[in-house]
Amino acid sequence: MRTAPTILHLDMDAFYASAEQAAKPSLRGKAVVVGGLGPRGVVATASYEARKFGVHSAMPMGQARRLAPHAAYLVPRFRLYRAISEQVMGLLGALSPLVEPLSLDEAFVDLEAGEAAWDAASAEAVGRRLRADIRRVTGLTGSVGLAASKMLAKIGSEEAKPDGLVLIRPGTERALLGPQSVRILPGVGPATADHLRRAGIQTVEEIAGAGEDELVRLLGKAHGSHLYEMALARDERPVVAERDSKSVSVEDTYDVDIHDRVQVRMEVRRLAGRCVERLRAAERSGRTVVLKVRRYDFSTLTRSETLRGPTDDPGVVREAAARLLESVDTTGGVRLLGVGVSGLADFTQEDLFAQFAAAEEAAAEELEGESAAAESAEAAEPEPTPVERKWLAGHDVRHAEFGPGWVQGSGLGRVTVRFETPYAVVPGRVRTFRVDDPELAPAEPMPLVEDAEGAEGDQAGSSSTPAILPNVTSGD
């Protein structure tokens, strides 16, 4: 293990919920829960105010509503979260070529590889600047852990939450970990902790004292040996730079099982289109189309088809997904559908059959249009029933008269909108409209920081004091 605390772990604080609070002045300082709002929805992130009521990630949304009935419940806005994540990852990339993202809001950085830090003092200075830069650029806060290994850096950032910095000096790791609960170690969940407790092991020091042979007997060779190494603060894993994605996929879970086979086909077609949009956005193509179906009884089936060459043609992916669906029995109902493309490449192999299929499809559509026009000349067709627009709680809208706002809720043919922007200092006004109001339209998320240049001076010196743990230095 290295001799300087130059591994940095960044974890954004309650990321999704914090982003929503920053975007919506009326929710600042209040309980906010982000996740799926349907009967089968789960919590993605809860604000710290909501966590006081016992709400946490991965909790069923129904349980969260019982614990915190007055919280704001919002549907995720992943486009906003990805945009913020790109800003944060850009700041990390400026520190070192070795950045290992774990998710949108979490990453390891090897500061030594980027020559950004070489000892405790320089590493801590980098951590402080990073937190200030994140606040200046995104308006959000992140917690930083600094140590000589990935495991300890992650433990440090957890102890630093929220909005803090913890530096663990080499040589103090055993004294720090010893009295802590076994749950502080990565990979030790409730089941493993309970198994160890029944064996009389409740602290990290007791894991080390038990010895590797005893842990292997209790937990098996791989888990037992790994846990013993962690208890001794041994972690030689390097920071690995981001690897290219091996696949692109999209999936949806439905509040009510889909039984209609025609609707299932339409959903697969729609998901295939979304998948290709992501594929093209990444400037990639793929050779294998994958269909995922989770049925009413929770059984999950996966089917795949490998094409003759990489493609990003939506018609080809839709047709392949449709063929795969024909081999799946959906009689009892479907609760989840997904379409993915793997075997990614940086180029697209032209598919003549795809071109012919597209040309034939366009010609067929043209003939259908001409036929429909001829029929309408003979007899007027009844107008189709308009589809009611869906307004998701928390999502952005814009009204022709009142400007930008966000959906507070909808139902019974009405939608309630609060008109405010991230830059307002007081909550905005609330108005209600018909769901089909022609002056109301979906909108793109607004940046959380209106003027990053001007915000720099305002944020100077605003970082909170880093936490101080036993054998841990904060530099203040």
pLDDT of residue 390: 83
What's residue 388's pLDDT? 58
Q: 371: which residues sit within 8 A by CB, 6+ positions away? A: none
For the segment 120-136, the average pLDDT, to the nearest whole number, is 96
Per-residue pLDDT of 341-395, as tens digits, reads: 988 876 544 443 443 344 444 444 444 454 454 445 444 445 554 555 789 999 9
Active site residue 106: yes
The angle, 0 to 180 degrees and rounded to 10, between the axes of the packed helices 212-219 and 190-198 is 120
Quick check: 312 and 349 in contact, CB under 8 A? no
The 10 Å CB-count burial string (b at 16+, else e) for 217-238 is ebbeeeebebbbbbbebebeee
Alpha helices in 33-106 (DSSP H): 48-51, 61-67, 78-93
Asked if the model's pLDDT at residue 243 lies above 80, the reply is no
Q: Which two three-digit tokens encode residue 462?
A: 């605003």
Angle between helices 352-378 and 314-325 (to 10 degrees): 90
Q: List the structure tokens of 141.
A: 């806060």
Nearest to 314 by CA among 267, 264, 346, 270: 270
Instruction: Kindly name the residue from 20, 49, 100, 106 that is annotated as catalytic.
Output: 106
Chain mean pLDDT for the chain: 84
For the question of whether the overall pTM of this predicted structure is more than 0.75, the answer is no
